[in-house]
Chains A and B, each alone.
Chain A
Amino acid sequence: MKVLSIAVNTFRENLRDKLLYNLLIFALLMIGSSLILMRLTLGEFHRLILDIGLGSINFFGVLIAIFVGIGLVSKEIEKKTIYTIVSKPVARYQFLLGKYLGLSLTLLINTAIMAAGLLAVLSFQDVPIHAVLFKALGMIVLEFMVITAVALLFSTFSSATLSAILTLAIYVIGHLTKDLKAFGQKMEGVGRSVLEGMYYILPNLDRFNLKGNVTHQLDVPAGDLLMIAAYGMAYTAFLLTLASVIFQRRDFR
């Protein structure tokens, strides 16, 4: 109940945030722009629309997750709004969880809107829509959930700006972990262990990327999807637990 009302309040906060609408409008413009770009390419325009569409949804969703996500907690502390919440019979982890769920709901609805935009463009151009597209969209949402948890974790102990930089860094590295491993294997000694350690600790965000499958119409087996989903959820749970532990010990001053 308490978690839910904090989630609803967070969702309402997001809805009244102008940043969100700006990002959403840009995302829809990007998706729409594929209609114009299409005229510049020869053939293969199906792939182009899908590529640009999914890319925009992913990119702007991540921006929302990071820039709204980092404000979730650090803004509450900076503006001291958290004082009145924590002094009520609300446990700190309930506060965090509520904030997280609120932003997740925002992201889910945003993704739905952006996906609707993409589907509109696709059907307008008579591009066949395959089931794998929806699977890819699902995985994109899962990636947002992980990124949001990363942003939340950082914002429990650092400032908004630092959290944004760190989360962005994790996002970029998270898509390059395979390279980290490959690079590590060419090294020896400490360097190798460090890079391999990073490979296992950092989120492997490329796992959530099914864009290639969509553009090449390669279906993903249910077992694989389940594995990826389990990975995403476990990683999110780990991040949220860690965030709660840090947040519980923190002094608000």
Chain B
Amino acid sequence: MDVDGEKVVQIDRLCKIFKVGFWGRKVTAVDGLSLEVHRGEVFGFLGPNGAGKTTTIKMLMGLIYPSGGVASLFGRPVGDPSAKAKVGFLPEAPYFYAYLTSREFLRFYGHLFGFLGASLDKRINELLELVGMTHARDLQLRKFSKGMLQRVGIAQALINDPELVILDEPMSGLDPIGRKEVRDLILRLKESGKTVMFSSHILHDAELLCDRVAMIMKGRLVACGQVSDLINHGTTQEVEMVIDRLSPDGIEEIRPLATKLVLHGEQVMAVLASQRQVDEALDVLRAHKAKLISLIPHKASLEDLFIREAKGVQQATEVHA
């Protein structure tokens, strides 16, 4: 069933409550989270540190058990071996068997899927090539840098040629070159028809890569959808207008409309907060026969959304308290 929009990951009202400390104080890590990841998309799972991203991913991988709600992979409950066989997983800040060389390491994981012999060796060589680690194939993992570990970690996640790749913070701790390489790799995976779900708190990466994103804070979903929709939704977009040869009277008329006004020789730069003010400013321009040089909407970024939502959540909890 390889139809567009098939749900590869389904999470329905998932909850996780941890008991911490000696007295078993209850801490809610994930709180009624619902979301879906469709086949073939790159899905960004965003949120600040401690939002519950890793906890959710661990529940998807069967590492911890949900306190409530259900999650499924390929329509099967999480933990089902046939679903696990189609998934590749890279944990956050991965630690691997330091005493193994890259090749032994990948061979071991291949064996766990029941792969053997020459075809496995071929696959290992391909993967080492893909992540650019061929030169270090006989080096023990204890001698690896963080970036190198991340790369063999990704190779490990791809050993079974998975349909779904789940990466937990794949870019964290990497230098700009390493991050770009991981980005390119994710795009290559998408091109080859794989579904990629990755968590990150680096929004720039998500903006460049993702078809859809979900943003969670304090274990709750605060936004989910296409990046462009999320950014535009409900935001009052600022517009920067540059005008030439506007008369002093015109300037005085525009001044109350603008949130910011800068005079620069013959030119005026005005920042306008909404569409209505832009319309009114244009009327002033026409009335005074001034020349419009440029009209640039300030593109909001995921970061703006992120900060806005974070503030919202904080205020909500303060009111609650």
Contacts and interface: CB of A to CB of B under 8 A. Distances in A.
A12 B61 contact: no
Contacts of A1: 111, 114
A79 B94 CA distance: 9
A130 interface: no
A252 interface: yes
B212 interface: no
Interface stretch (A80-88, A131-139, A157-165, A209-217): A80-88
- Interface size class on chain A is 20 to 34
A5 B108 contact: yes
B293 interface: no
A5 B111 contact: yes
Interface residues of B, number: 32
B102 interface: no
Contact of A83 (B61, B81, B100, B108): B61
A253 interface: yes
A2 B81 contact: no
B81 A84 contact: no
A131 B226 CA distance: 77
Contact of A2 (B61, B104, B112): B112
Given A80-B94, A84-B91, A89-B82, 13 more contacts: A1-B111, A12-B99, A12-B104, A13-B99, A17-B99, A81-B95, A83-B63, A84-B94, A89-B113, A251-B63, A251-B65, A253-B55, A253-B63
Interface of A: 1-2, 5-6, 9, 12-13, 16-17, 79-81, 83-91, 249, 251-253
Interface of B: 18, 55, 58, 61-65, 81-82, 84-85, 87, 89, 91, 93-97, 99-100, 104, 108-109, 111-114, 153, 156, 160
27 contacts: A2-B112, A5-B111, A5-B112, A9-B97, A80-B93, A80-B95, A81-B95, A83-B63, A83-B89, A83-B91, A84-B89, A84-B91, A84-B94, A84-B96, A84-B109, A84-B153, A86-B61, A87-B63, A87-B84, A88-B109, A89-B81, A89-B112, A91-B81, A249-B65, A251-B64, A252-B63, A253-B58
